[in-house]
Structure 1
């Protein structure tokens, strides 16, 4: 597990650990400065953190100066210059339109941490900007684990993965019927950056065809924030007052996906963006792998022993235990595996199989496989029956 930041140190790595999460918080606050009156105060706070990490005479010294730096590669900040982590040094947090870049969501958020010396993050800041994934999951699962009932835990966690967004009334009915326990404040209004407002005043959102969480809307481009869910769409306004805006796919990606249908924003809710990124996104892959293995004839148990690991697979006389890891940053994954060695084999989903050799090189003793290799292994075990 990534360590909490505990104060100023002269170690360059520790300075970098303070700068990255502070830069991410400042970048997010800048994007919502017209919506939240104290957003600029948050930018100023994070400027102070960055100044302290750099020391006198180094790095940005004003909030506007920090924002200017965030429109360039993070590696140009003195605290990150010359570092070995080339992934994070190449990240640009703010695009030319002053929106967060895809890398901010996909990569920088994996470095989010509490910032020592700064006040707790304001309520309007999403959890992924100031808590790392393990913290978000623990916070979310604390309610799900109430009573330490394995069956109830799996049902509640699966409910979040399969129902990350929807109408308030529909979600309420599903919760009542299933008896699951969603986490406190688990569902919130659809984020403004994921809403399209038509000229007639109506507003809409579209669920990702893979994870079903609201896709981001940037002008006429609509896509999921999680880039492995890679479909990209162009938005076309409704032609009549009774119709809805529609999407047409403009990328050449695979696989073929059902075209999302616009849903009214009024009375719609979705899970917090941190829960989506840390629970829903990997959960979608875990459920997909489970279905694939069951189609082969295996028996699969989800999140055994209250999430001691992800999948327990029985194939004929053989049993397999794996923990799925879906990190955008191989560097961040390696650091986390070093600080908390896994008890079971690591499984890389199809979208992240390219990380296999990097992990094996950095961690030669690590037991790691890919989804493709693992499915072949289970299929071979079933054939021996």
Structure 2
């Protein structure tokens, strides 16, 4: 039983469930969708049996594909983040997509590979590929410039985005695409898009409203009504400008034509631009504290922030992490073996505050230590302010 439980673990089960939820919403014939569901149902049903749970029938599996992820996982595999809905607005939810990329297991079948529409890149593979491209710039200064370029140029005029990418020594291939269809809407014979006021990335347009595909930004800013008037550029209704400013964004929402504009590919935006926005914001706030100096991405990004206070003998070394799955993040950190130095801390954005208990418990157990390892951005800033 224990061997079977290891074989049908969280990675494989989350992958199968999230893929099934996405494929069930695709415009395929009902027969084709049921055939794909039957293939993906197999590993999920076996996972339930392997973890001592009753058999999960195919009909029940499909019925639950639009509900919370937790309802399709054996209790022993569930994490707090699994309360997220699998489907929103007729497609795989952004949180479920994050969980898929963070837990992505090897392909389950030939049909799976042929039918899956989302790029099959795990979070680690995306980060590893981009890290290699950034290192190829050849120097620490070049690395920092390229890293900042990916953060500051998530979308915009195609010539500006491509010129910035080239100037930073990064390849256009694999990084830049045209504005995706889900962000486009038509007005008086032209197609337009709106960028998120926090990360600038094209927001999803649906039913006359736009919202960022990164759930914390969408929650902070809100779903914004699009206003269309004859002989005028599209505009937007009320939105939370103060909250966008708190998150460090440009704080504007302006319509732009689809023609002549481009953006980063979605995985790079999600796993480089998004955490990078928080790293830059945190750096700016640290620099405002008297007696404190902070350096971004020292030693070619061995970690994210090197923070020194005049009154403290040793600096803090900070890694900023933004995962939907706290348990997965803890496992990755322990596997890499980078937390043995007591000066290295993990900082998560404030909207991940509910992860701190799981992170600290698992990291303490894995490292056999009693020290606090994980902080939110706000709690780390208070720690530095107190020391300074």
With the length of structure 1 as denominator, give the TM-score of the two structures: 0.80
- Residue 188 of structure 1 aligns with which residue? 177
| Equivalent-residue separation in structure 1 for 2:308 and 2:34 (angstroms) | 51
- Residue 215 of structure 1 aligns with which residue? 203
8 Å CA contact 1:31, 1:99 repeated in 2? yes
- Residue 308 of structure 1 aligns with which residue? 302
Which runs of no fewer than 5 residues in structure 2 stay unpaired? none
**Pair 1:234-2:234 in alignment:** no
Q: What are the Cα deviations for residues 11-62 of structure 1, in whole angstroms up to 9, with x where unaligned? A: 167244323213323433455547xx9xx97985574243145249954659
**Pair 1:27-2:15 in alignment:** no
**Pair 1:277-2:277 in alignment:** no
Aligned residues: 362
Instruction: After TM superposition, list the pairs within 5 Å mapping 1:117-196 onto structure 2.
Output: 117-118=109-110, 121=113, 125-127=117-119, 130-146=120-136, 148-176=138-166, 178-182=167-171, 184-196=173-185
Question: Structure 1 residues 103, 380: closer, same or farther in 2, change over 3 A?
Answer: closer
- Residue 6 of structure 1 aligns with which residue? none
8 Å CA contact 2:209, 2:224 repeated in 1? yes
Question: Structure 1 residues 86, 357: closer, same or farther in 2, change over 3 A?
Answer: closer
Q: SS at the partner of 1:342?
A: coil
Q: SS at the partner of 1:10?
A: helix
| Equivalent-residue separation in structure 2 for 1:159 and 1:248 (angstroms) | 30
Q: SS at the partner of 2:125?
A: helix
The answer to which of 150-159 and 230-239 deviates more is 230-239
8 Å CA contact 1:140, 1:183 repeated in 2? no
8 Å CA contact 1:144, 1:183 repeated in 2? no
Q: What are the Cα deviations for residues 109-132 of structure 1, in whole angstroms up to 9, with x where unaligned? A: 4333332444785698343xx332
The answer to which of 216-225 and 155-164 deviates more is 216-225
Q: What are the Cα deviations for residues 304-340 of structure 1, in whole angstroms up to 9, with x where unaligned? A: 2332211112333542211111223323323333433
| Equivalent-residue separation in structure 1 for 2:116 and 2:234 (angstroms) | 29
- Residue 368 of structure 1 aligns with which residue? 374
**Pair 1:99-2:91 in alignment:** yes
8 Å CA contact 1:221, 1:232 repeated in 2? no
Shift of 1:234: 3.1
CA RMSD of aligned residues (A): 3.4
With the length of structure 2 as denominator, give the TM-score of the two structures: 0.80
Which runs of no fewer than 5 residues in structure 1 stay unpaired? 1-8
The answer to which of 370-379 and 268-277 deviates more is 370-379
- Residue 264 of structure 1 aligns with which residue? 257
8 Å CA contact 1:233, 1:247 repeated in 2? no
- Residue 107 of structure 2 aligns with which residue? 115
1:225 corresponds, among 205, 209, 213, to 213
8 Å CA contact 2:298, 2:306 repeated in 1? yes
